[in-house]
Structure 1
Amino acid sequence: MEQSKHSEEEILKLGKKLIKELELVYTGNTLARWLAHYLAELISNIDKCKSKEEKSKLQKECCDIILEIWEKRERVPIEKPTEKLKPIIDVISLLKKNEHPFIRHRFLDKRNGLKKSNSSWLSFLEIVKNNSERIYRKSLISMISEELLEKDNEWIGKHGSFLSDDEKSVVEYLDSIKEITISFHDDPKKEPSENEKIVNLFKELEEQIDEQKKELLKLKKLMLKKH
Structure 2
Amino acid sequence: MEQSKHSEDQILKLGKKLVKELELVHTSNTLARWLTHYLAELINNIDKCESKEEKSKLQKECCEIILEIWGKRERIPIEKPTERLKPIIDVISLLKKNEHPFIRHRFFDKKNGLKNSNSSWLSFLEIVKNNSERIYRKSLISMISEELLEKDKVWIEKHGNFLSDDEKSVVEYLDSIREITISIHGEEEKKETEKEKIEKLFNELEEQLDDQKEELLRLKKKALKNLKKKTKNK
Place the TM-score, normalised by the shorter chain, in its bin. Answer: over 0.9
Q: Counterparts in 2 of 1:64-83, with a 5 A limit?
A: 64-83=64-83
Aligned equivalent of 1:217: 217
The residue type equivalent to 2:144 in the other structure is I
Of the structure 1 ranges 29-38 and 217-226, higher mean CA displacement relative to structure 2 is found in 217-226
Aligned equivalent of 1:161: 161
Task: Tell me how far 1:220 sits from its aligned partner.
Answer: 1.7
Aligned equivalent of 2:230: none
Structure 1 CA distance, aligned partners of 2:41 and 2:20?
A: 14
Seen in structure 2, the aligned counterparts of structure 1 residues 102 and 74 have a Cα distance that, compared at 3 Å, is same
Query: Are the equivalent residues in 1 in contact too, given 2:107–2:114 (CA < 8 A)?
Result: no
Q: CA RMSD in A?
A: 1.7
Aligned equivalent of 1:121: 121
Structure 1 CA distance, aligned partners of 2:22 and 2:103?
A: 42
Q: Counterparts in 2 of 1:116-195, with a 5 A limit?
A: 117-178=117-178, 179-180=181-182, 188=189, 190-195=190-195
Q: Return 5+ residue gaps in structure 1 as ranges.
A: none
Task: Tell me how far 1:183 sits from its aligned partner.
Answer: 6.9
Structure 2 CA distance, aligned partners of 1:113 and 1:214?
A: 21
Cα-to-partner distance string for 1:46-84 (whole Å, 9 max, x where unaligned): 111111111111111111110010001111111100111
Seen in structure 2, the aligned counterparts of structure 1 residues 113 and 195 have a Cα distance that, compared at 3 Å, is closer
Identity of aligned residues (%): 80
Partner-residue secondary structure (3-state), 1:98: coil
Task: Tell me how far 1:95 sits from its aligned partner.
Answer: 1.0
TM-score normalized by the length of structure 1: 0.92
Structure 2 CA distance, aligned partners of 1:105 and 1:78?
A: 45
Structure 2 CA distance, aligned partners of 1:183 and 1:195?
A: 18
Aligned equivalent of 2:7: 7
Aligned equivalent of 1:47: 47
Query: Are the equivalent residues in 2 in contact too, given 1:183–1:191 (CA < 8 A)?
Result: no
TM-score normalized by the length of structure 2: 0.90
Larger proportion of helix:
2
Task: Tell me how far 1:114 sits from its aligned partner.
Answer: 2.9
The residue type equivalent to 1:55 in the other structure is K
Structure 1 CA distance, aligned partners of 2:187 and 2:40?
A: 44
Give yes or no for the alignment of 1:24 onto 2:24: yes
Seen in structure 2, the aligned counterparts of structure 1 residues 27 and 136 have a Cα distance that, compared at 3 Å, is same
Give yes or no for the alignment of 1:100 onto 2:100: yes
State the 4+ residue runs in structure 1 displaced beyond 4 angstroms: 181-184
Q: Return 5+ residue gaps in structure 2 as ranges.
A: 228-234
